[in-house]
Amino acid sequence: MSATAGKARSVLSMVALISTARLVLEPFDSICARALRARLEGDDEREAWVHLCQALAERPDMTSAWIVYRDGRALGAVAVMLVADTIGEIGFLVLRSERGQGYGREAVGAVVRHAFTHMGLHRLAGATPAADPAAAAVLERCGFQREGLMRGSYVDGGAHRDCWLHARLATDQELVLVQ
């Protein structure tokens, strides 16, 4: 393992509280998890939640996650999983009732800054369902570039679905959030 990878892994285990103008991102724990789980609405949100929990259970030393709060109300989650050396994958969930208010962009942008500044990552990639342009827009507003379509890359309701792959490098232009 390279020294850089060792740094990234050790930093992953030290998840910090992150604050933005409107949001507080608290490190994932059982209390935070219950607060968000209680507000899940629909199968798509439950499926995303299960996926996040599985990643944390399977690779807890390689995954950092935050529950997103506004005014004490859980409204989403963001996670970063280290996949190789200084390369990570980012995923996010914003509750349906909280969408359209810029919370996803604000939370993802804060975690992207944290990942590059404090976690030592060089690349972050994120995949969004091709049928969910709003999710792709969140990543693009956070400076991610669309790299391509991953055909049949995930299963949803028993059917293989396509995803857009997005990525951002630490060396890309400074993160300026687009409204």
Does residue 110 fall inside a structural domain? yes
Does residue 107 fall inside a structural domain? yes
Does residue 42 fall inside a structural domain? yes
Tell me, what's the pLDDT at 69? 94
Distances (CA, A) of 111 to 34, 90, 92, 158: 21, 9, 10, 32
Torsion sign across C-alpha atoms 136, 86, 153, 149: positive
Question: pLDDT tens digits for the chain (179 residues)?
Answer: 445 545 554 445 557 899 999 999 999 887 777 888 888 887 778 887 877 777 777 777 788 899 999 999 999 999 999 998 899 999 999 999 999 999 999 999 999 999 999 899 999 999 999 999 999 999 999 999 999 999 999 887 789 999 999 999 999 977 655 44
Tell me, what's the pLDDT at 44? 78
To which H or E segment does residue 155 belong? strand 145-156
pTM, full prediction? 0.85
Structural domain containing residue 94: 3-169
Tell me, what's the pLDDT at 10? 47
Does residue 74 fall inside a structural domain? yes
The count of structural domains within the chain is: 1
Does residue 21 fall inside a structural domain? yes
Tell me, what's the pLDDT at 122? 95
Does residue 175 fall inside a structural domain? no
Please provide residue 115's backbone torsions phi and psi, each rounded to the nearest 5 degrees: -65, -40
Does residue 178 fall inside a structural domain? no
Does residue 108 fall inside a structural domain? yes
Tell me, what's the pLDDT at 1? 43
CATH number of domain containing 41: 3.40.630.30
Tell me, what's the pLDDT at 176? 57
